[in-house]
Amino acid sequence: MRVAAAVLCLLLLTAEIPLAERRSGYDFMGRETRAMQDDDSTNPALFWLADGEALWNRKDGAAACSSCHASMKGVAARYPKVVAGRGVNLEQQINLCRTERQKAPALAYESRDLLALTAYVARQSRGMPIEAGWNERTEAGRALFQRRQGQLNLACSQCHDDNWGKQLAGTTIPQAHPTGYPIYRLEWQDMGSLQRRLRNCMIGVRAEPYPYGSPELVDLELYLMWRARGMKLETPAVRP
């Protein structure tokens, strides 16, 4: 059994971008965009961070987030995680806390409030290494990453493993390491979650995107964070 597990682990590792060659999407950006992310006073996400801090300290339902939690340092580096056999991402955990502990309504996916609160929580882990282990849900996400889909019959891996660093429609293809979500994307002129970006890619290959919060998208998030294990969080990142 140990030999079989070692062989499986070796196969998994050799199928990914070698650890020494992994690069954040930050490395593929122009000087101006990097400068925007590096300076907290010009990073467009600062408005969401301010809203997130206000939400953190505001009593909703029975209590405020700050009533229970003094610090969230390191938390975002460990999400998504598996709970009772199901993947749970940071946005879902925030809503679980709201509904089960604060007795407050859940926040809608991609709403400004949920993005702001998620960014505020994740910002406290900026610079910390991503912690992601391998589990059954990660394996499901890996299968989805490698599966061809849509009318263009393309898999995520064909772009982000096989052709990273090349140009597609004038944009450099990154390695799909989700080190900075939620991000402010210049194309959107808005903040967005990793699931929004994944759905964009699915639409781009003319596939039917999974709904927000679906197990498939969370599994894919788990796998992508595993790929980025050990890399530092950049939240809130800025991307083209």
**What confidence score (pLDDT) does residue 115 get?**
98
| pLDDT digit string (tens) for the chain, length 240 residues | 443 343 334 334 445 799 999 999 999 999 999 999 999 999 999 999 999 999 999 999 999 999 999 899 999 999 999 999 999 999 999 999 999 999 999 999 999 999 999 999 999 999 999 998 898 899 999 999 999 999 999 999 999 999 999 998 888 999 999 999 999 999 999 999 999 999 999 999 999 999 999 999 999 999 999 999 999 999 999 999
C-alpha separations of 11 from 15, 20, 87, 141, 226 in Å: 6, 17, 24, 16, 15
C-alpha separations of 110 from 51, 89, 91 in Å: 14, 14, 10
Amino acid at the residue 164: W
Which residues, in sequence order, are CB contacts of 15 under 8 Å at separation 6+?
none
Nearest Cα to Cα of residue 239 among 49, 57, 27: 27
Q: Which two tokens stand for residue 212?
A: 């927000």
Bond before 215 cis per omega within 30 degrees: no
Report the predicted TM-score, pTM, of the whole model to 2 decimal places. 0.91
Which residues, in sequence order, are CB contacts of 152 under 8 Å at separation 6+?
205, 206
Q: Return the residue matching tokens 């965009």.
A: 33
Q: What is the DSSP letter of 124?
A: T
- Asked about 201 being catalytic, the answer comes back as yes
User: To the nearest 10°, the Cα dihedral for 70, 185, 216, 49?
Assistant: 10
**What confidence score (pLDDT) does residue 133 get?**
87
Name the active-site residue from 9, 68, 97, 201: 201
**What confidence score (pLDDT) does residue 168 get?**
86
Q: Find residue 184's DSSP bridge partners.
A: 191, 238
